[in-house]
């Protein structure tokens, strides 16, 4: 069952502050008009609403793109007539009122009762659609006969011999008689064959090349990306600009950008800007950012009053450029948990790539033209420009500039890939009006703070470990909480030590998240020795290597932390003089910020400034403000 709650649409049943409402219409991408049981109307933020249908509800959802307009209009007509009854408590509904609605709709009273129950259970107008038989067009054959038919088709039809349907039926007839089973008619076998995927049939009977020539989308299109969040592409690139550290303001090299791009609308749904080389961690952070609302992210950077970033919700598919991240267990399992399909671009099929690459070229061109310290795209273009000497932006300053450019210009600029529509316009139309004759998508419900934190943790790396008296150990570091005491020395049925999944953020190891699969929740485990300073996994790896080179034990926690403290002092002393040491020092400052963001903090109101009127366009005046903030 899906862990994803249904979108909020006109007619959805929702709850706000414990009171039940029905959504009537959308005001914009962040607010809706609702009505309560007494018919009173209210405008409220989507972030304040909860769907009455939670994730894991065993409700079969039909894809809205598959619903014919006539069927949908009928369902909406039923909803409008049921609306009066839905406002009443079941005990207050009279038989006469039920009969009146039934008469208007041309249904029986029992059908009206059934529809009321269906809508109450799901909160979806689609629950009022006439149910289709699940076996329409499917031949009714016994399991044994169907097995013989499938084997015959697999062996004789889907092969380079390319036998006709009549020949395949003869082989099936022979096999059925040998098994003393009734033979299906040739028409039945032909019907089953006609229901096979055309591209697969052509590839098996002829060749993959011929199949692609016939069935693959034309260059520039992308399969199954008919609506926003159907396909999200993720990729990484170094930014073409030198950044400086927070303390000495000396150049420390380039940062790396990871972005998630919605193929249908061309909206950027999330990004991560880091000094660390990109990998599974950056990809996981970018995915979780794409899924979650950006309100708090914008508020932390003082941008919420000027810019909007409406992208959030669960994507159907994540597409990467044949990247190695999804070959590991971490992202594969996290995506499976939320019913997200990870796909890699197959080598030799460039038609499916290019969306992110084109976006990167657009972004870097803006960097070349706007930012001091740019490296340009190559040595010839840079010529005598002193990139390091001109550099002024910190990582945080570059992140803020990119957000302003992205939300204030790129999302608002007409895009050739959208037939001249701006990405934000496509996004808005798809959710509130509908694209290409399809029904509007509606808006995803917000996740509760607990579920949002759970999602962030789910997209972090993990290791597996047993629980011992000292707690959980990895990389020679111990974590412990009294809450895991009951798991100490627990065994599997075959007598082996039972292992548990532990999630961690490699940038800050002062705590990890132990997964209790019985309670289906994470338990936060701090260091067993609480006085230890937060460290990164990279610092631990470096310390263990240094100890090994010295001939010292590499599994001693005290020695590891002492080595890290020593290394930090050396880096601090040298960082003002050496670029490499300065970059390491800045990395440690960035890692330290990770732990700070997890501590509860008050949100201070952002006051207007003289530069507010210049937002959101990243002009040179605004850029100066970004430099000062960084």
| pLDDT of amino acid 628 | 35
- For residue 605, being part of any structural domain is answered with no
Task: Tell me the two tokens of residue 285.
Answer: 């952070």
Please report the sign of the dihedral spanned by the C-alpha atoms of residue 147, residue 149, residue 150, residue 151: positive
C-alpha to C-alpha distances, 320 to 236, 324, 329, 330, 413, nearest whole angstrom: 10, 9, 16, 15, 25
Tell me the CATH number at 161.
1.10.10
Look over the chain and give the mean of its residue pLDDT values, rounded to a whole number. 80
Could you give the CA distance from residue 497 to residue 468 in angstroms, rounded to a whole number? 10
* Total number of domains in the chain: 4
Host domain of residue 199: 143-215
Q: How open is the CA angle 77-80-86, to the nearest 5 degrees?
A: 135
Report residue 53's pLDDT band, with 50, 70 and 90 as the boundaries.
low
Most confident among 62-66, 71-75, 537-541 (mean pLDDT): 537-541
201 and 251 together in one domain: no
Which pair of tokens denotes residue 165?
């349907």
574, 467: one domain? yes
What is the spatial distance between Cα 616 and Cα 186, in angstroms, rounded to a whole number? 67
- Measured CA to CA, the distance from residue 195 to residue 66 in angstroms comes to 17
152/111 same-domain check? no
pLDDT at 441 exceeding the cut of 90:
no
Helix axes 557-574, 579-597, angle to 10 degrees: 120
Q: What is the pLDDT at residue 365?
A: 86
d(C-alpha 419, C-alpha 329), whole Å: 39
Query: How far, in Å, CA of 80 to CA of 86, rounded?
Result: 10
User: Is 40 buried (19+), middle (13-18) or exposed (0-12) by CB count in 10 A?
Assistant: exposed
| Per-position DSSP letters for 54-96, written without gaps between them | -TT-------GGGS-HHHHHHHHHHHHHHHHHHTS-GGG--HH
Q: Please tell me whether residues 211 and 235 are part of one structural domain.
A: no
Instruction: Clarify whether residues 238 and 367 are in a common domain.
Output: yes
Strands 31-35 and 251-262: unpaired
486/564 same-domain check:
yes
Instruction: Report the C-alpha gap between 264 and 278 in whole angstroms.
Output: 25
At 139 the pLDDT is: 62
**Least confident residue range of 137-141, 215-219, 237-241, 271-275:** 215-219
* Token representation of residue 248: 């000495």
The predicted pLDDT at position 421 comes to 93
Instruction: Name the residue with tokens 């960035």.
Output: 590
In terms of Cβ atoms closer than 10 Å to its own Cβ (0-12, 13-18, 19+), residue 430 is buried
**Does the residue 577 lie in any domain?**
yes
Q: Indicate if 349 and 486 belong to the same structural domain.
A: no
Instruction: Say what the pLDDT of residue 129 is.
Output: 75
Taking the C-alpha atoms of residue 101 and residue 82, their distance in angstroms, rounded to an integer, is 7
Distance CA 33, CA 25 (A): 5
Highest average pLDDT, of 40-49, 170-179, 194-203, comes from 170-179
Residue 449 belongs to a domain: no
Domain end among 215, 243, 268: 215
617 occurs within a structural domain: no
Residues 86 and 181 placed together within one structural domain of the fold: no
d(C-alpha 607, C-alpha 302), whole Å: 9
Whether the pLDDT of residue 168 is over 70: the answer is yes
CA distance 254 to 259: 16
pLDDT at 225: 67
User: Is residue 472 over pLDDT 80?
Assistant: yes
Q: State yes or no: pLDDT of 499 exceeds 50.
A: yes
Same domain, 188 and 280: no
Residue 122 has pLDDT above 80, yes or no: no
Q: Does 203 lie in the same domain as 271?
A: no
Lowest mean pLDDT among 84-93, 122-131, 191-200, 550-559: 122-131
**Separation between Cα atoms, residue 621 and residue 614, nearest integer Å:** 8
Last residue of a domain, one of 99, 128, 157: 128
Is 62 inside a domain boundary?
yes
Q: What percent of the chain has pLDDT over 90?
A: 33
Same domain, 252 and 284: yes
Reply yes or no on whether the pLDDT at 383 is more than 70. Answer: no
- For residue 197, is it within any domain? yes
Helix or strand holding residue 478 (H, E): strand 477-479
Check: pTM over 0.85? Answer yes or no. no
pLDDT tens-digit readout, 299-336: 999 998 889 999 999 998 898 865 566 666 778 778 87
- Measured CA to CA in angstroms, residue 516 lies from 108, 390, 482 at distances of 50, 52, 13
The tens digit of pLDDT for each residue in 520-574 reads 889 999 999 999 999 999 899 999 999 999 999 999 999 999 999 988 887 777 6
Evaluate if residue 64 carries a pLDDT over 50: no
Give the confidence band of 453 by pLDDT, cuts at 50, 70, 90: very high
Whole-number pLDDT of residue 352? 46
The arithmetic mean of pLDDT across residues 265-291, rounded, is 92
Instruction: Kindly state the percentage of the chain with pLDDT values over 70.
Output: 79
Cβ 529 vs Cβ 480: under 8 Å: no
Q: How far is CA 598 from the centre of its chain?
A: 21
Residue 604: predicted pLDDT: 37
Domain assignment present for residue 451? The answer is: no
pLDDT at 601 over 70: no
Where a domain ends, among 189, 215, 241?
215
As a whole number, mean pLDDT of residues 489-496 equals: 85
Do 256 and 284 share a structural domain?
A: yes
Q: 351 falls in which pLDDT band (50, 70, 90)?
A: very low
Task: Give the integer Cα–Cα distance in Å for 227 and 427.
Answer: 9
- Say what the pLDDT of residue 589 is: 72
Instruction: Look at the alpha carbons of 221, 225, 226, 228 in this order and tell me if their dihedral is positive or negative.
Output: negative
In a domain, 42, yes or no: yes
């Amino acid at each position: 069952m899906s862990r994803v709650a249904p979108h909020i649409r006109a007619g959805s049943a929702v709850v706000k502050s414990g009171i039940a409402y029905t959504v009537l219409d959308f005001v914009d991408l962040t607010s809706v008009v609702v009505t309560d049981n007494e018919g009173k109307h209210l405008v409220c933020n989507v972030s304040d609403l909860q769907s009455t249908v939670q994730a894991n509800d065993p409700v079969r959802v039909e894809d809205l793109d598959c619903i014919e307009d006539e069927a949908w209009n009928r369902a909406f007509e039923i909803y409008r007539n049921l609306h009066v009854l839905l406002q009443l408590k079941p005990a207050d509904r009279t038989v006469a009122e039920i009969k009146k609605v039934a008469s208007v709709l041309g249904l029986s009273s029992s059908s009206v009762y059934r529809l009321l129950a269906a809508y109450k259970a799901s909160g979806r107008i689609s629950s009022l659609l006439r149910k289709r038989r699940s076996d329409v067009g499917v031949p009714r054959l016994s399991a044994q006969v169907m097995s013989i038919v499938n084997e015959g088709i697999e062996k004789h039809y889907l092969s380079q011999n390319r036998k006709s349907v009549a020949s395949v039926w003869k082989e099936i007839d022979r096999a059925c008689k040998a098994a003393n089973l009734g033979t299906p008619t040739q028409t039945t076998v032909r019907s089953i064959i006609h229901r096979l995927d055309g591209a697969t049939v052509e590839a098996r009977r002829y060749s993959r090349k011929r199949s692609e020539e016939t069935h693959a989308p034309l260059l520039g299109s992308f399969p199954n990306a008919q609506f926003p969040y159907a396909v999200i592409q993720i990729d990484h690139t170094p930014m073409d600009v030198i950044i400086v550290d927070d303390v000495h303001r000396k150049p420390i090299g380039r940062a790396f950008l990871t972005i998630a791009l919605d193929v249908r609308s061309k909206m950027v749904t999330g990004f991560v800007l880091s000094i660390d080389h990109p990998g599974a961690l950056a990809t996981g952070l970018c995915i979780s950012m794409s899924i979650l609302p950006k309100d708090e992210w914008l508020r932390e950077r003082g941008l919420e009053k000027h810019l909007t970033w409406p992208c959030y919700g669960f994507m159907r598919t994540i597409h990467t450029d044949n990247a190695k991240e999804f070959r590991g267990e971490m992202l594969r399992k996290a995506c499976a948990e939320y019913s997200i399909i990870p796909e890699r671009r197959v080598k030799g099929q460039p038609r499916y790539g290019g969306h992110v690459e084109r976006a990167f070229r657009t972004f870097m061109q803006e960097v070349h033209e706007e930012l001091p310290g740019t490296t340009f795209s190559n040595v010839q273009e840079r010529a005598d420009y002193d990139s390091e000497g001109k550099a002024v932006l910190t990582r945080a300053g570059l992140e803020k500039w990119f957000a302003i450019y992205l939300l204030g210009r790129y999302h608002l600029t007409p895009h050739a890939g959208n037939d001249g529509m701006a990405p934000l316009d496509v996004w808005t139309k798809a959710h509130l009006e509908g694209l290409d004759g399809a029904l509007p998508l509606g808006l995803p419900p917000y996740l509760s703070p607990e579920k949002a934190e759970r999602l962030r943790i789910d997209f972090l790396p993990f290791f597996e470990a047993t629980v011992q008296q000292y707690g959980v150990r990895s990389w020679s570091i111990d974590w412990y909480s009294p809450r895991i005491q009951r798991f100490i020395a627990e065994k599997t049925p075959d007598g082996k030590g039972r292992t548990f999944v532990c999630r961690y953020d490699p940038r800050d190891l002062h705590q990890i998240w132990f997964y209790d699969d019985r309670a289906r929740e994470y338990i936060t485990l701090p260091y067993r020795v609480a006085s230890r300073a937060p460290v990164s996994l990279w610092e631990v790896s470096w310390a263990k290597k240094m100890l090994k080179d010295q001939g010292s034990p590499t599994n001693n926690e005290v020695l590891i932390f002492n080595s890290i403290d020593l290394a930090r002092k050396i880096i601090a002393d040298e960082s003002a003089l050496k670029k490499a040491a300065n970059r390491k020092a800045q990395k440690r400052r960035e890692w330290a910020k990770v732990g700070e963001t997890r501590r509860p903090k008050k949100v201070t109101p952002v006051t207007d400034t003289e530069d507010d009127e210049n937002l959101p366009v990243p002009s040179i005046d605004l850029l100066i403000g970004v430099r000062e903030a960084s």
